[in-house]
Structure 1
Amino acid sequence: MKTRLIIVAAPSGAGKSSFVEKLSKENPRLVDIVTYTTRAMRKGESEGQPYHFISSEDFQKKIKEGFFVEWAKVHTNFYGTSFESIENAWKQDKCAIMDIDIQGVATFKAKFPDAKTVFILPPSIDELRRRIEKRDGGVPADIEVRMANAEKEIREASKFDYQIVNDVFEQSYSQFKKIVEELLA
């Protein structure tokens, strides 16, 4: 049976969103699942790109309604994936691909045991810090929380079906693309 669900996880700033976004645009068999978040939009983002931005109140209401396959508090904000978004991809006979926080992976694997998992590793913890600071236009207020979480998350990498070190983006992306194409074959 071909793969119907691919889950990509990584510490914040390791490149998971960039990989998933780029490959989803290149491969029509993939649907990039847009998750919900309570975090503020960053420069260059908009509703649905790369998240559905909702209030904490709306998020809590959706939790009570059973709207999410999984949800988690990551750093200081909530993130969640809806059942509907995955089901819509499957109705189109496409593979759902998503980047989610590592906390959500176990929940997904419990509900969808045939899901494949990919972990994107930074070349080093120092490089990860540099990328986050560059991306966020300076040192984010929660940088130490993110770095502590990153170290915990990296220790979980061996539990994933595949691991890729994102050192040189194009080379690492090629590896990622090859893995996904093999899963879809």
Structure 2
Amino acid sequence: MKTRMIIVAAPSGAGKSSFVARAIEEIPQLVDIITFTTRNIRKGEKNGLQYHFISHDDFKAKIEKGFFVEWAKVHTNFYGTSYESLESTWAAGKCAIMDIDIQGVLTFKSKYPDAKTIFILPPSIDELRRRIEKRDGGMPADIEVRMANAEKEIAEASKFDFQIVNDNFEQSYAEFKKIIEKLLG
């Protein structure tokens, strides 16, 4: 296997979780690295499936123990990736794929320079806002924070190995899948 780690980043609401979830179903060499988070569970999510949902206190204890490869505060919550999840994936001869925030990408690239990165762009900021409202069932309280963060994140897209504009899910996903298959050799 040519690539052992694929990192997918995007502003909140651009579709990164949907791309990664579908790729996991369709490409057997991929293992989704499940992130730990302190954010509240959303409707339809299950603990241990989309995220490992833990308390702020548990998260802070794990930071102190050196449990995370990287962790970051995003919006108002913490997110982190454990060393153990990566090591067990590689021991099984698989490629780790994960969707993480832009801060995390820089940390991963510094620790694992061979990681490949893909940035998912929304067609526009207005469309991104519409998607977030639709997904969250209305206007989230932190929408302005998310939109300001999205603009900063989009400005970093050119630093990624690949960029895909998610304007039509099926076409954009097909492009995403093709990139991954090429990376896996």
Q: With structure 1 as the length reference, what TM-score do the two structures score?
A: 0.99
* 1:63-102 correspondence runs (5 A): 63-102=63-102
Deviations 1:85-136 (A, max 9, x none): 0111101100000000011001000000000000000000000000000000
Deviations 1:23-74 (A, max 9, x none): 0111110001000000000000011120000000000000000000000000
Q: With structure 2 as the length reference, what TM-score do the two structures score?
A: 0.99
Consecutive unaligned residues of structure 2, counting only runs of 5 or more, are none
1:19 and 2:26 matched: no
For 2:17, the aligned partner's letter is: S
* 1:125-144 correspondence runs (5 A): 125-144=125-144
For 1:165, the aligned partner's letter is: V
Give the total of aligned pairs: 185
For 2:106, the aligned partner's letter is: A
* Distance of 1:87 and 1:164 partners within structure 2: 28
Report what 1:36 is aligned to: 36
For 1:13, the aligned partner's letter is: G
Report what 2:109 is aligned to: 109
* Distance of 1:46 and 1:81 partners within structure 2: 18
* Distance of 2:28 and 2:87 partners within structure 1: 17
Structure 1 moving runs of 4+ over 3 Å: none
* Distance of 1:134 and 1:157 partners within structure 2: 24
Instruction: State the percentage of identical aligned residues.
Output: 77
Superposition CA RMSD, Å? 0.6
* Distance of 2:50 and 2:27 partners within structure 1: 18
SS class of match (1:23): helix
Report what 1:7 is aligned to: 7
* Distance of 2:148 and 2:102 partners within structure 1: 14
* Distance of 1:32 and 1:9 partners within structure 2: 14
